[in-house]
Amino acid sequence: MLRGDLQDLMLSGVKWELNENPNVPTRFDSVKQKTESAVLRTPTSTIVPPIAPIQNISLSTVISMAARPTDIDSLCRMIGEFNHPLRRSVTNVVLPDIAQNPNGLMILTDMPGAEDDASGKILSGVAGEMINKMLNAINISRDSVSIVPMLFWRTPGGRTPTREEIDLAKPFVERLIQMMNPAVVLTLGSLPASEFGHIQLSKEHGKVIDTDFGAKLMPIYHPNYLALKPSAKRDVWDALQNIQNLLKIVQK
């Protein structure tokens, strides 16, 4: 392994890749010792600088890392240990929700919300209740659908993620799709529609899109958007019925 690759892996913090202590020292350590006890006594959360500057973890190394696991559990463990620059500002790493009884449908959503960050579970709270109702309306139970976020860490304040932040998470999402090999991917919100369908959600909502990874993709509005704009529920309902029919076709 090249020296640069070794440094990247150390920065990524994946313990089982190096069998090393994942606590990577940073340039903040010299001042950290003086302030650590005070920070621990502070009940309010504080946004801490990333473990390493984003440019110090090469995208090629992340792509290589994501390709190594041979099973989903190992891949999720890698995601949980990965020192993405957003990790230091979150409460929990929000891992994919893997279907217990997969039916060929994967949901690809944008990024964790505040409730997801607090619980460590994707599509929790109000958004989770709504997605459960949407699935139940077409006779699909949540335990038969894998739900994968585009990012596994909430951005500070829920801001729009940067291009670099998306790129450093995307290889893991691509590897999950490859491993699960879904027949149909339902995207929630504009980010996954753009990244994996290469489309604008506002123009292609509810349409069936062919992908370069073999699955059929259908983009719909995120449940949070439906809470703000209930009139859009009719369009989503029509799309969900199409999903139901599409699953029947691909499962034959």
How many domains is the chain built from? Answer: 1
**130 to 33, 102, 178: CA distances (angstroms):** 45, 20, 27
> What pLDDT sits at residue 251?
72
Residue 35, domain CATH = 3.40.470.10
> What pLDDT sits at residue 57?
83
Written as tens digits, the pLDDT of the chain (252 aa) is 554 444 444 445 554 443 333 343 444 444 344 434 433 343 343 343 443 444 478 999 999 999 999 999 999 999 999 999 999 999 999 999 999 888 899 999 999 999 999 999 999 999 999 999 999 999 999 999 999 999 999 999 999 999 999 999 999 999 999 999 999 999 999 999 999 999 999 999 999 999 999 999 999 999 999 989 999 999 999 999 999 999 988 776
Q: Which domain holds residue 121?
A: 3-250
pTM higher than 0.75, yes or no? yes
Contact 245, 139 (CB under 8 A): no
- Output the DSSP codes for 142-195: GGGSEEEES-SSPPGGGPPPPHHHHHTTHHHHHHHHHHH--SEEEEESHHHHHH
Counted residue by residue, the chain has a size of: 252
**Cross-strand pairs, 107:** 147, 186
> What pLDDT sits at residue 172?
98
Task: Provide the token pair at 118.
Answer: 């607090």
